[in-house]
Amino acid sequence: MSYTKSVLQPDEQIGILGRLHWIVYYRAIWYLIVGFSLLLLEHKYLDEEPVILLTAGVFGALALVSAIHAWFVRWITEIAITDRRVIYKRGFINRHTVETNMDKVATVDVDQSVLGRLLNYGTVTVKGTSLTFEPLRRVVCRLNCETRSSRNNLRASPLSPRDSLRTTLLGHGQAQAAWQETATFLP
């Protein structure tokens, strides 16, 4: 059972489950690219089997360890928006959780780099009336390009903070469809 499901209050429903973007595998991908490039160069210029095997072993192990670490981080991170709260959990043995009531959400800030805009990920910061979530880095973000720019604060949006958070994690059309399925989900 996930942490989010275990802390649900009676009659509370999960509306959106967020997740980390696949870009968390960037180190593993980088190690594979560098390792493969070095293998091609060594094969072309050195052609010494022990060096080629060592390079393949080192970069293959680095890529594997990085991929396993990224998968684990992605697996142990939970982001959920319910009809009452925003829930963020990170960690396996040492657990870090942040929860805030939806009526306490004041603003939602989204920062995206150029690559983030192209691949639909960014850093989401939920600011409440009494606390601020730590920035949720490399979260899947599907923003409506008409109402937001790459480093735009969602406060400028005509949407409420709740709507902004839904739209950020799902995308405008998907958010409308998801919330219309549960018509009485949020007031």
The answer to whether residue 186 is domain-embedded is no
This prediction has a pTM of: 0.70
Please identify which residue in the block is written with the tokens 């989900």.
Answer: 185
Which of 53, 95, 66, 59 minimizes the C-alpha distance to 78?
95
Q: Are residues 58 and 116 in the same domain?
A: no
45 shares its domain with 100: no
64-114 confidence digits (pLDDT tens): 999 999 999 999 999 988 888 888 899 988 998 888 888 888 888 888 899
Q: Are residues 94 and 12 in the same domain?
A: yes
Residues 102, 62, single domain; the answer is: no
Domain that holds residue 57: 23-74
Token pair in block for residue 126: 């939920």
SS3 21: coil
**pLDDT for the residue numbered 162:** 55
From the centroid of its chain, how far is CA 102? 20
Task: Kindly state whether residues 64 and 91 are assigned to the same domain.
Answer: no
pLDDT in tens, 116-145: 889 988 888 888 777 767 788 888 876 543
Asked if 36 and 96 sit in the same domain, the reply is no
Same domain for 100 and 161? yes
13-34 per-position pLDDT tens digit: 888 888 899 999 999 999 999 9
Residues 99, 31 share a domain: no
pLDDT band at 164 (very low <50, low <70, confident <90, very high): low
Do 37 and 62 lie in one domain? The reply is yes
Q: Do residues 135 and 112 touch, judged by C-beta distance below 8 A?
A: no
* Tally of domains in the chain: 2
Question: CA–CA separation, 127 vs 22, rounded Å?
Answer: 25
pLDDT > 90? residue 165: no
pLDDT value, residue 161 = 54
Check whether 44 has a pLDDT greater than 60.
yes
Are residue 47 and residue 86 in the same domain, yes or no?
no
Instruction: Please say if the pLDDT value at position 186 is more than 80.
Output: no
> DSSP secondary-structure letter at 8?
P
